[in-house]
């Protein structure tokens, strides 16, 4: 049986951030499992509308960007489950399998402390050391268990290089989001 989804086509917001994927149906009443890209799925819970794009691989049950109004999203065991308007049975939930989930950055909850940042806000920032030497641009962040690591991209002798700096207070002096700069206690030859 092929399920036809009646999802509203829309444009992806300019500040959209990919926060997860739909893994599979969960139960028989239209709930589905979500694989969050973050260990703290707060953005999934705070957004009342998700923007979906089809998976790059597999069968496509919709095209382009569609709007998915969320009725409820919650943690269940070690996963996130959600239920959306118009997704009322297992077949409809299965038709969403693999879909990429985006939410506007503006709908993320506020950070609670001066030293808390969303990874997406750090991507692209320039990193310099205390002497003002440019070390690279943040291209990614990596969780290594006990700490997060900044992955910087820079060029040396015409070749693209990578540098990793632990994102901990021992090495990070200041994060200036408006100035798009992170100052660190780190030398280029480390």
- Residue 63 belongs to domain with CATH number: 2.40.30.60
In a domain, 112, yes or no: no
The residue written with tokens 């693999």 in the block is 98
* 59 and 100 part of one domain: yes
* CB 11 within 8 Å of CB 65: yes
Task: Label each residue of 15-83 as H, E or C.
Answer: CEEEEEEEEEECCCCCCEEEEECCCCCHHHHHCCEEEEECCCCCCCCCCCCEEEEEEEEEEECCEEEEE
Range of the domain at 161: 119-184
Phi, psi dihedrals of residue 50, rounded to the nearest 5°? -110, 150
Q: Using pLDDT thresholds of 50, 70 and 90, give the confidence band for residue 112.
A: confident
Specify which residues 103 forms β-bridges with.
17
**Count of domains observed in the chain:** 2
**Mean pLDDT on 122-143:** 94
In a domain, 89, yes or no: yes
Domain boundary among 74, 107, 140: 107
Q: Which of 184, 176, 179, 188 is nearest to 127 (CA)?
A: 184
* 60 and 86 part of one domain: yes
pLDDT of the residue at 1: 41
Token pair, residue 41, equals 């799925």
In a domain, 33, yes or no: yes
* 50 and 87 part of one domain: yes
**Mean pLDDT on 176-186:** 96
In a domain, 75, yes or no: yes
Domain boundary among 47, 73, 107: 107
pLDDT of the residue at 101: 96
H helix or E strand, kind and range, residue 92: helix 90-95
* 41 and 68 part of one domain: yes
CA 166 to CA 61: how far, in whole Å? 42
* 137 and 91 part of one domain: no
Higher pLDDT: 112 or 179? It is: 179
In a domain, 18, yes or no: yes
* 133 and 92 part of one domain: no
* 13 and 101 part of one domain: yes
pLDDT of the residue at 89: 95
* 103 and 131 part of one domain: no
* 56 and 81 part of one domain: yes
pLDDT in tens, 7-60: 899 999 999 999 999 999 999 999 999 999 887 888 899 999 999 999 888 778
Domain boundary among 61, 77, 107: 107
């Amino acid at each position: 049986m092929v399920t036809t989804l009646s999802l509203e086509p829309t444009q992806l917001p300019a500040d959209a951030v990919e926060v997860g994927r739909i893994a599979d149906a969960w139960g028989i009443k239209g709930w589905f499992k979500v694989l969050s890209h973050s260990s703290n799925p707060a953005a999934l819970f705070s957004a009342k509308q998700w923007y979906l794009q089809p998976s790059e691989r597999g069968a496509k049950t919709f095209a382009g960007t569609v709007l998915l109004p969320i009725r409820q999203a919650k943690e269940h065991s070690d996963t996130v489950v959600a239920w959306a308007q118009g997704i009322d049975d297992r077949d409809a939930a299965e038709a969403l399998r693999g879909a990429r989930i985006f939410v506007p950055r503006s709908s993320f909850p506020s950070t609670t402390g001066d030293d808390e940042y969303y990874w997406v806000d750090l991507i692209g920032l320039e990193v310099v050391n205390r002497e003002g030497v440019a070390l690279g641009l943040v291209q990614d962040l990596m969780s290594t268990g006990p700490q997060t690591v900044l992955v910087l991209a820079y060029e040396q002798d015409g070749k693209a290089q990578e540098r990793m700096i632990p994102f901990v207070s021992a090495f990070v002096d200041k994060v200036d989001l408006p100035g798009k700069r992170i100052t660190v206690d780190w030398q280029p030859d480390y």
